[in-house]
Amino acid sequence: MRIGELARRAGTTTRTLRYYESRGLLPARRTGNGYREYDEEDLRLLRQIRILQDFGFGLEETRPFVECLQAGHPAGDSCPASLDVYRAKLAELDAVVARLQAVRDEVAAQLARAEFEAAADLPGGPEPRCELAPHPGPRPGRPDPT
C-alpha cells in the first residue's frame, strides 16, 4: 500500500509517517518508481506506536516495542527492552501519582481549615480575626497626615 492509504488506515498523516521513517521507526521501502510502499506489518507497527503514545509514552520510548515486533515477536512487549520501558514508565507514573496525592492532601487540609474558619465567622460565633485595627492617630512629634 502507498503512504496515503497507510496514513488513512492508521489514523495519522503522511507527514507523521515520513517523520517516523526519518527516526527509523518505520521502514523505508521504495518501489522501482520511487514510491514508498508499506504492508500490513507496517500498519501493525504504527498501531503499536499509537497505542503507546495514547498511554503517554514518548516516541523514543516506543522504539523497543517496534524493534521487538520487527524482530518477529508476536507482541511488541514480549522483549526484555520493552519490559524495561514499561517498568520505567510505571515508576514515573507512581511518582506523579504520589505528587498528586500530596497536593490533594494539602488542598483537603486547606479546605478543612477554611471551612472551620468560615463556620466560626457565622453570626453568634467568635469575633472575626481579620478586622482592621482603628487608626492610632498621629505619632508623637509628627503632624497628622489628614
* pLDDT tens, position by position, 60-117: 999 999 999 999 999 999 999 999 999 999 999 999 999 999 999 999 999 999 999 8
Residue 120 has pLDDT above 90, yes or no: no
- CATH number for 89: 1.10.1660.10
Query: Is 145 domain-assigned?
Result: no
Query: Is 130 domain-assigned?
Result: no
53-85 as b/e: b if 16+ CB within 10 A: eeeebeeebbbbbbbbbeeeeeebbebeebeeb
Residue 36 has pLDDT above 60, yes or no: yes
For residues 105 and 93, the answer to whether their CB atoms sit within 8 Å is no
Query: Is 131 domain-assigned?
Result: no
Number of domains in the chain: 1
Q: What is the pLDDT of residue 6?
A: 95
pLDDT range class, residue 118, cuts 50, 70, 90: confident
Cα(69)–Cα(22) distance, rounded to whole angstroms? 18
